[in-house]
Amino acid sequence: MHGVDAPAEPERLPERLRRPHGRWRAWPTTGPARALLAGAGAVAPCWMAVVWLMHLGPLSAHMAQHIALMNVLAPIGAVALMPLLPDRKQGVGPAALWAATCAQIVLLWAWHAPALHAAAASGGGAHGAMLATLLAVALCFWGAILLLSGRSRWQGIVALLLTGKLACLLGALLVFAPRPLYASAAGHHAADSLQDQHLAGLLMIAACPLSYVLVGVVLSAQLVYGLTAEPVQPASPKAAASR
């Protein structure tokens, strides 16, 4: 209509003002990313409650440190680092996943061997090497879980359950051992050292279902839901006519 002014075109704002949360939108929002954050979110409050409310001995404090690195910081770090990978859409194959899985299991058990544990407990470079290597393999493991393609997702579930079972087995050995296994934690009170060792094993047994098993269950549910939610393709007219 004549005499009516057209609405003014809104002024284009800069990109950073039009999308104030654009940086967070770059984070992965896929099912595996949500599963990893759910697992870390389940472990974190329990871990903080244990650290604040319980008197931890040297071995249980050592185990709490491992749980914080491998079950909280590593999955959150893997999700946070995904946008920085230029070729993340290509994903990784099962070989990379199983290499990271084997490396994580071997290093976890190796650093809990009495000789290496004594070296790490003495402080210095061995303790730093232990923390750095465990964090590195955990980052690789959780990153491989994130980067698996849809067809290989089931192998990630198997790797999660296998890792959780073997980690729980290590915790069970600490719980049911009749004597202290680590001379550095034995000290002068064998009863206190054995109690500390049992608590360390219980911490590991509690953390495994809350991280590895929980993430595996969530991924399994997402995989089953994705299969059932796929639309059924209607038969072509030619196929129907041939019948």
**pLDDT tens sequence across 38-95:** 888 889 888 888 877 777 888 888 899 899 999 999 999 999 988 777 665 666 778 8
Mean pLDDT score, 112-133: 87
User: What pLDDT score does 33 carry?
Assistant: 86
Per-residue pLDDT at 129: 93
Quick one: average pLDDT of 126-139? 93
pLDDT given at position 227: 55
Q: pTM score, two decimals?
A: 0.76
Of 169, 203, 212, the C-alpha closest to 46 is: 203
- Cβ atoms of 189 and 240 within 8 Å: the answer is no
Residue 20 identity (one-letter amino acid): P
105-120 pLDDT per residue, tens: 999 999 999 888 888 8
Domain positions in the chain: 28-83+98-227
**Mean pLDDT over all residues of the chain?**
79
Higher-pLDDT residue of 30, 37? 37
**Other CB atoms within 10 Å distance of the CB of residue 110:** 13
**Helices marked H in 86-243:** 94-111, 114-121, 125-147, 153-176, 183-186, 190-208, 214-229, 237-242
**Amino acid present at 72:** V
Question: Residues 42, 214: contact at Cβ < 8 Å?
Answer: yes
Model pLDDT for residues 133-178, shown as the tens digit of each residue: 999 999 999 999 988 876 778 898 999 999 999 999 999 999 998 8
Going from the C-alpha of 180 to that of each of 101, 114, 172, the distances in angstroms are 29, 10, 14
